[in-house]
């Protein structure tokens, strides 16, 4: 006969379990259990989500290791919401949850935590920072030790992850900057600079630029979270006239976006009182109409040399006074003006001022946000596909926000950013 112990040794000696029990008791994930399920008898989806949050808190690298952890610690599994009949929890339960769960459901949980933190006054949203983080897909093409032909060929995505795309990220050294390529995704965020907590996040293929995401995220911060920032901070990737105009006109905030040398080259043409470009010889140029540059998604107004463009003008001025090479060898000078944005807004930005530098220094908060997300393995997904990777990233954000909310709940507001160390030492 096997004599069973009178006391559960795990319950007596494993004090952190009680801390996790309190932590998960204040985290409402009941909305996950409302969705219907067809097939084999389901496990509570809220329990699976709690297990994935626990995986992040303990930096468990794989779903199989998580399954083993729950099997070896039945009291932990019970605290997370698993019933005795559910154990052992197969790895497939976790992977199916990540693959099949609508990301909107997880986003609702994340947003509710953000609103709670706003209501508590922890998130103020006065200064917002924008950034993105590369998420390397779990494919052999990203392992440079493997022998793969056409490793980074755009038209040949990895066989086991058809959703990932090629992206690039710079590596800065003391001497130069090195650009590295990868197959994967990007997690785009907007964070509150003061609390260093993420407000909005979305995971997309690595070839999607942040400039196509930022305005939608800022709309969410303004309309759904009712925050009114006084400055929006970003690096040169987001140096776009359309984005700058949106920040000024729609948010009423200061655009603190560093200049991108490729986009901020000033035009050499002067403008007349009527807004027409004046060529280097001092002549007003001729309009050749407005067209849409579909490649760059811009509306432009083209102006050409008046000597080459008008026979009447050429009778009085047959030659360019400067004998410009474009006149001598070609069809004369030409220039373009954008007509879909207000370029005067960029001209009014006080680049280089102490105010600009002081605001822009707050951008380092994004680096610290991603540093905490990386500590819970957001950059090392153990799943394949965009849907599963996006859900895994959203759960990582939920983990960070849940720790911040719990620290405030137990009257430890100075520990809102202690993602890995707060619960074990609480």
Q: What is the 3-state secondary structure (H, E, C) of the chain?
A: CCCCCCCCHHHHHCCHHHHHHHHHHCCCCHHHHHCCCCCCCCCCHHHHHHHHHHHHHCCCCCHHHHHHHHHHCHHHHHHHCCCHHHCCCCHHHHHHHHHHCCHHHHHHHHHHHHHHHHHCCCCCCCEEEEEEEEEECCCHHHCCCCCCCCCCCCCCCCCCCCCCEEEEEEEECCCCEEEEEEEEEEEEEEEECCCCEEEEEEEEECCCCHHHCHHHHHHHHHHCCCCCCCEEEECHHHCCHHHHHHHHHHHCCEEEECCCCCCCCCCCCEECCCCCEECCCCCECEEEEEEEECCCCEEEEEEECHHHHCHHHHHHCCCCCCCCHHHHHCCCCEEEEECCCCHHHHHCCCCCCHHHHHHHHHHHHHHHHHHHHHHCCCCCCCCCCHHHHHHHHHHHHHHHHHHHHHHHHCCCHHHCCCCCCHHHHC
CB atoms within 10 A of CB 75: 15
364 and 390 fall within a common domain: yes
35 is a domain residue? yes
Total structural domains within the chain? 3
Within-domain flag for 406: no
pLDDT in tens, 264-299: 444 555 888 888 899 888 899 999 999 988 877 778
Considering the domain architecture, whether residues 233 and 162 belong to the same structural domain is answered as: yes
Assess whether 240 and 151 both reside in one domain.
yes
Q: For 137-170, how does the pLDDT look when each residue is reduced to its tens digit (9 = 90+)? A: 989 998 888 888 888 888 888 988 999 999 988 7
Residue 33 falls inside a structural domain: yes
Residues 66 and 161 in one domain: no
- Whether pLDDT at 6 is above 60: no
Is residue 326 one of the residues assigned to a domain?
yes
Looking at residue 208, which CATH number applies to its domain?
3.30.420.10
Q: What is the pLDDT of residue 265?
A: 45
Sheet with 334-338: strands ordered across: 286-293, 298-304, 334-338
The pLDDT value recorded for residue 173 is: 66
Q: Give the residue-averaged pLDDT of 313-340.
A: 88
What is the average pLDDT score of the chain?
87
Give pLDDT, residue 413: 84
Residue 403: inside a domain: no
pLDDT in tens, 217-272: 999 999 999 999 999 999 988 998 889 999 999 999 999 999 887 654 445 558 88
Same domain (yes/no): 222, 180: yes
Query: What pLDDT score does 390 carry?
Result: 96
Q: Are residue 287 and residue 246 in the same domain, yes or no? A: no
Does 413 fall in a domain? no
Q: Measured between alpha carbons, how far is 149 from 156 in angstroms, rounded to an integer?
A: 10
The whole-angstrom separation of Cα 34 and Cα 101 is: 12
Q: Clarify whether residues 299 and 237 are in a common domain.
A: no
Residue 269 has a pLDDT of: 58
Please indicate, yes or no, whether residues 131 and 217 belong to a single structural domain of this protein. yes
Q: Which domain, by its residues, includes 331?
A: 270-340
* Confidence band, pLDDT 50/70/90 cuts, at residue 136: very high
Same domain, yes or no: 235 and 331: no
Does some domain include residue 417?
no
pLDDT at 9: 47
If asked whether residues 232 and 156 sit together in one domain, one would say yes
pLDDT in tens, 355-403: 999 999 999 999 999 999 999 989 888 899 999 999 999 999 999 999 9
The answer to the question of residue 67 being in a domain is yes
């Amino acid at each position: 006969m096997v004599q069973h112990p009178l006391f559960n040794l795990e319950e007596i000696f494993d004090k952190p379990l009680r801390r996790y029990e309190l932590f998960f008791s204040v985290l409402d994930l009941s909305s996950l259990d409302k969705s219907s399920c067809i097939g084999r008898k389901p496990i509570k989806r809220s329990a699976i989500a709690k297990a994935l949050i626990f995986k992040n808190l303990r930096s468990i690298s794989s779903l199989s290791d998580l399954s083993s952890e729950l099997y070896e610690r039945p009291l932990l599994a019970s605290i997370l919401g698993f019933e005795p009949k559910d154990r052992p929890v197969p790895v497939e339960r976790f992977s199916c949850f990540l693959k099949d769960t609508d990301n909107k459901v997880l986003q609702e949980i994340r947003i509710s935590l953000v609103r709670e933190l706003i209501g508590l006054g922890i998130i103020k949203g006065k200064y917002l920072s924008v950034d993105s983080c590369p998420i390397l897909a779990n494919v052999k093409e990203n392992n440079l030790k493997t022998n793969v032909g056409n490793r980074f060929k755009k038209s040949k995505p990895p066989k086991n992850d058809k959703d990932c795309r090629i992206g690039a990220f710079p590596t800065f050294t003391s001497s130069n900057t090195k650009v590295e390529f990868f197959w994967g995704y990007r997690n785009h965020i907007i964070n509150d600079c003061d609390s260093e907590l993420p407000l909005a996040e979305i995971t997309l293929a690595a070839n999607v630029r942040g400039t196509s995401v930022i305005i939608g995220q800022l709309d969410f911060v303004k309309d759904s979270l009712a925050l009114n920032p006084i400055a929006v901070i970003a690096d040169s990737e987001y140096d776009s006239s359309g984005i700058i105009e949106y920040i000024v006109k729609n948010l009423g905030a200061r655009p603190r976006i560093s200049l991108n040398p490729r986009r901020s080259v000033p035009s050499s043409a002067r403008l007349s009182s009527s807004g027409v470009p004046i060529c280097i010889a001092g002549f007003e140029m001729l309009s050749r109409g407005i067209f849409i540059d579909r490649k760059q998604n811009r509306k432009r107004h083209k102006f050409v040399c008046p000597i080459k463009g008008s026979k009447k003008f050429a009778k009085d001025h047959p030659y360019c006074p400067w004998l410009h090479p474009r006149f001598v060898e070609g069809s004369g000078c030409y220039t373009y003006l954008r007509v879909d944005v207000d370029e005067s807004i960029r001209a009014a930005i006080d680049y280089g001022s102490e105010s600009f530098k002081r605001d822009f220094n707050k951008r380092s908060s994004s680096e610290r946000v991603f540093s905490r997300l990386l500590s819970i393995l957001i950059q090392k997904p153990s799943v394949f596909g965009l849907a599963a990777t996006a859900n895994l990233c959203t759960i990582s954000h939920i983990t960070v926000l849940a720790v911040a909310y719990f620290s405030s709940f137990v009257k430890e507001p100075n520990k809102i950013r202690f993602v890995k160390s707060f619960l074990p030492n609480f």
